[in-house]
Structure 1
Amino acid sequence: MLMEYVDVFISGLTNGSVYALMAVGLTLVYGVSKAFNFAYGSFYSLGGYLAWVLLAGIGIWGGYISVFIVALPLLMAFGYVTEKLIVAPLRSRSDWEIKVMMITLGLALFMDNFYQVAFGSRMKSLPPIVDGVWDLGDIVISYQDIVILVLSVSGILAFRWILNNTRIGMAVRAVAQNPEGARIVGIPKDRVFAATFAISTVMVGAGGVLLAQKYFVSPTGGWDILVKSWVITAFGGMGSIQGGLYAAFILGMLEAFVGYWFGMTWVLFALFAVLLATLAVRPQGLMGKWG
């Protein structure tokens, strides 16, 4: 029994770390632009399909190391171009946040149908990053979970370093805290919006690569990730990166134990129940602030 609970705990910790990586990206975009990206889940699927094409289709040399080297710049370029072509033209219009929600919803439907046409409706599977397990007697931990946890946490730490120690990171923080003040001091808001969109695409796409080996890649699989990322963002506090990190690990653990005790069909019910209970007590979320 103890070994089973340890396995569930490790699964929750691993999934929570990847959810944190992805939810922070969604929180970043909302914190800077106050617009919600409905295509976020489709960007997750894009990361998974890129990994599948590189590994199963091309058979790229170097395994997952080469996958990350190739896929991450492609994801960043895709996010940047998408923001410039689709989101940026709407920014000068009234109620542009609502229009962004609508157009990214359309983009998500387009991308999902493209995946189905290009790759078929059958789910794709990927090999693990590493094989083998760490045998600790009664406790057995797969090396795959350890690597996913390390890579996810490394990605989060790298993101925090960029925010705190680079010019673009400080510009992002300034625009998120005071958009008008950032404009007055000469910070190019359009570049910041494009950069945050590109960074968030990399983060959710990287999550797609990491989870593709544990779960299947499917044309509509991104909607589940979109829902979970939204729940984490709202639970942690809209626009609060620190709150999103806490919420991701909490809900990752909740998902693992609810799935173990009651079955996976009860996971989303439990997530929304916890979200609604939290918002009833703290409408601004765990770490959010009143606007």
Structure 2
Amino acid sequence: MTMNEDTLFLIYELIDVIISGLTNGSVYALMAVGLTLVYGVTKAFNFAYGSFFNLGGYFAWIMINFVGLVGGYFSVFLAVVPLMFAVGYALEKTMVAPLRKRDEWEMKVMMLTLGLALFMDNLYAVVFGGRVKSLPAILEGTLETGNLVFSYQDIMIFFLSISGILLFGWILNNTRTGMAVQAVAQNPEGARIVGIPKNRIFAATFAISTAMVGFGGILLSQKYFISPMSGGAIMIKSWVITAFGGMGSIRGGLYAAFIIGMLEAFVGWTFGMSYGMIALFVLLLTTLAVRPQGLMGKG
């Protein structure tokens, strides 16, 4: 190969890495926004978040394999996302709400969700077995532009993730529930005084975040695999993104998700995928040492 061909090959590889980073980053952003929302409103961290990511993937797998793709992936989203919303709402009402009547309930909720994550992951192993499951691509084929080749699957995952984030932003800024969520996050006592039903907002927050991570589970499980324990890695990434962006900062979580998606892609390309998690923790520890409140958290 000539020097020019070597350079072109490197450029094409870099573009592939960037696309991979943007695709993963968009899904991470979708999930991080939901986790940040829960923390911002309740000041409690949902450790079962990764397990709900898996649940969305498993629900989609069940529907595809036992119901079929009538109507394509649209029917999967139409069935699974509202189902995940209902699961999140039921979780908050039956398990989280009773704890809010106790002292230091935020810590108790974190312990509850940690135990729930262990239960759910082991339940997946019993019900679905230890072997990995896979979802078909949302759209087959590639888009070729000159010597560049783009996967339709990556394009659709990116588009749907961004659409989900924009829809979430619209709900947050243009609906009564969304504005009430913001009010509770900014000033819980003030929200209570003006008559905002805090209990209902807490339930809505858990439901929305669970629907978002379930949606992310459907999208990302097409690129990778679903296994009983794969939610653990997603939980760690979501936590790193939330802490790196600034606890409770949705904008910080969005920035952090894309930064970490790109970092993960470049580290995987340079050193191998096994080093990706190490790089995330190095980034997090460095950030916390220099700016403990994260990128956009309040000091």
TM-score range for the pair, normalised by the shorter chain length: over 0.9
Within the candidate set 56, 72, 77, 2:86 is matched to 77
| Structure 1 residue ranges, 4+ long, deviating more than 3 angstroms after superposition | none
SS of match in other structure, 1:91: helix
Aligned to 1:229: 238
Structure 1 residue identity aligned to 2:224: Y
CA distance in structure 1 between the aligned counterparts of 2:116 and 2:23, rounded to whole angstroms: 30
Deviation per residue, 1:109-143 (Å, 9 max, x gap): 11111111111110001110001111012211001
The answer to whether structure 1 residue 44 and structure 2 residue 53 are counterparts is yes
Structure 2 residue identity aligned to 1:27: T
SS of match in other structure, 2:12: helix
CA distance in structure 2 between the aligned counterparts of 1:46 and 1:62, rounded to whole angstroms: 22
Aligned to 2:7: none
CA distance in structure 2 between the aligned counterparts of 1:177 and 1:16, rounded to whole angstroms: 27
CA distance in structure 1 between the aligned counterparts of 2:128 and 2:281, rounded to whole angstroms: 32
Structure 2: 5+ residue stretches without partners: 1-9
SS of match in other structure, 1:121: coil
Aligned to 2:288: 279
Structure 1 residue identity aligned to 2:118: L
Within the candidate set 143, 146, 155, 1:137 is matched to 146
Structure 1 residue 57: deviation in Å? 2.4
Structure 1 residue 104: deviation in Å? 0.6
Aligned to 1:251: 260
Aligned to 2:31: 22
Structure 1 residue 60: deviation in Å? 3.7
Structure 1 residue identity aligned to 2:282: A
Percent identity between the two aligned chains: 71
Deviation per residue, 1:127-175 (Å, 9 max, x gap): 1000111101221100100000000000000001111000000000000
Contact 1:237 1:243 in 2 (8 A): yes
Aligned to 2:125: 116
Within the candidate set 220, 228, 251, 2:229 is matched to 220
CA distance in structure 2 between the aligned counterparts of 1:39 and 1:57, rounded to whole angstroms: 26
CA distance in structure 1 between the aligned counterparts of 2:137 and 2:274, rounded to whole angstroms: 25
CA distance in structure 2 between the aligned counterparts of 1:164 and 1:141, rounded to whole angstroms: 34
Within the candidate set 34, 47, 50, 2:43 is matched to 34
- The structure whose Rg is larger is 2
Aligned to 2:179: 170
SS of match in other structure, 2:54: helix
The answer to whether structure 1 residue 268 and structure 2 residue 284 are counterparts is no
- State the number of aligned residues: 290
SS of match in other structure, 2:223: coil
Contact 1:55 1:63 in 2 (8 A): no
CA distance in structure 2 between the aligned counterparts of 1:225 and 1:11, rounded to whole angstroms: 17
Structure 1 residue identity aligned to 2:174: N
Structure 1: 5+ residue stretches without partners: none
Aligned to 2:214: 205
Within the candidate set 182, 199, 207, 2:191 is matched to 182
TM-score (norm 2): 0.96
Structure 1 residue 251: deviation in Å? 0.4
CA distance in structure 2 between the aligned counterparts of 1:102 and 1:164, rounded to whole angstroms: 32
SS of match in other structure, 1:72: helix
CA distance in structure 2 between the aligned counterparts of 1:284 and 1:113, rounded to whole angstroms: 34
Aligned to 2:112: 103
SS of match in other structure, 1:101: helix
Aligned to 2:159: 150
CA distance in structure 2 between the aligned counterparts of 1:60 and 1:253, rounded to whole angstroms: 32
